[in-house]
Amino acid sequence: YTDDAAVPLSVQMRRRCFNCCTTESRTPKGRSAWRRSKLSPGKVLCDKCGHFERNHNRTRP
């Protein structure tokens, strides 16, 4: 697993949220969604952590 946005995904390499370390990210409609962190450039966040960071300008607890 990787939380680095620059690493290409493959069968052996999957995304992991930089903040909560989850490996699954789903939108309310069931689609996979990953977001880039603005506070930690180059890192990937799950949908929930990404929304929280954008709305509160800090990482999700």
Each residue's pLDDT tens digit, 2-60 = 899 898 888 888 999 999 999 998 888 888 889 999 999 999 999 999 999 999 999 99
Angle (CA) 43 10 39, round 5°: 5
Domain of residue 17: give its range.
1-61
Q: What is the pLDDT of residue 40?
A: 93
- Work out how many domains the chain is built from and give that number: 1
SS3 45: strand
CATH code for position 7: 3.30.50.10
How many Å from the N-terminal Cα to the C-terminal Cα in the chain? 21
Q: What is the pLDDT of residue 32?
A: 82
SS3 33: coil
Q: What is the pLDDT of residue 50?
A: 95
Q: What is the pLDDT of residue 9?
A: 85
Residue 45 to residues 12, 15, 18, 23, 56, Cα–Cα distance (Å): 19, 9, 6, 10, 15
